[in-house]
Amino acid sequence: MTIAICPGSFDPVTNGHLDIIQRAAEIFDQVIVAVGHNPGKTPLFTVEERMALLERVIGEARLTNVRVDHFHGLQVEYARAQKAQVIVKGLRALSDFEYEFQMALTNKKLAPEIETVFMMTANEYSFLSSSMVKEIVLFGGNPDGLVPPVVLTALHEKMEKRGRING
């Protein structure tokens, strides 16, 4: 049985992420979508909120061989603990490549038995990122079609709350 982990910040999950998760679920027996802690980023959603949104979206897509989890520390250590053989990453543009290449080679050094598999993102999501979606909503735009409806609602709620806190 091949187990793959799909690590990321998912702050929040976009249709681009979902596309990669769906395609991974068709290839691998089990997929674990793992919400990681990126010390370089200040997230909008808590880990629990991000996991809840992922669970909703994965449930709606009826992906029965996918589950959601979170991890601290190195993704290869997490992969080992889950007995996963594969790390799945989505590649959008050339700009992703250098960072992902570096991470894949570092992971290979740390855990030679774990393979990183890259999937090219679907054309219609090649420009899409969680940061862009957050910016669109922050400035009153409409990211319709870029995130699942449940995520759009959560984004509006979060921005509203922030607005109230900031005056």
Residue nearest to ligand PNS (CB): 36
Quick one: which of 36, 118, 136, 158 contacts ligand PNS (CB under 6 A)?
36
Residue among 105, 126, 133, 113 nearest 45 (CA): 133
Closer to ligand PNS by CB, 97 or 160: give it.
Answer: 97
| Nearest-angstrom CA–CA distance, 38 and 47 | 11
**Residue 13: which residues within 8 A CB-CB, separation 6 or more?**
50, 53, 54, 57, 130, 147, 148, 151
- Is 92 a catalytic site residue? yes
- Is 130 a catalytic site residue? yes
Give alpha helix (H) positions in the chain.
Answer: 15-27, 47-60, 75-81, 94-110, 130-138, 149-165
Quick one: which of 4, 6, 7, 51 contacts ligand PNS (CB under 6 A)?
7
| Nearest-angstrom CA–CA distance, 33 and 115 | 16
Residues 108 to 167 in contact with ligand PNS, rule: CB under 6 A: none
Closer to ligand PNS by CB, 120 or 163: give it.
Answer: 120
Closer to ligand PNS by CB, 38 or 160: give it.
Answer: 38
Interface contacts to ligand PNS, rule CB under 6 A: 7-9, 36-38, 41, 74-75, 103, 106-107
Catalytic site residues? 17, 41, 92, 130
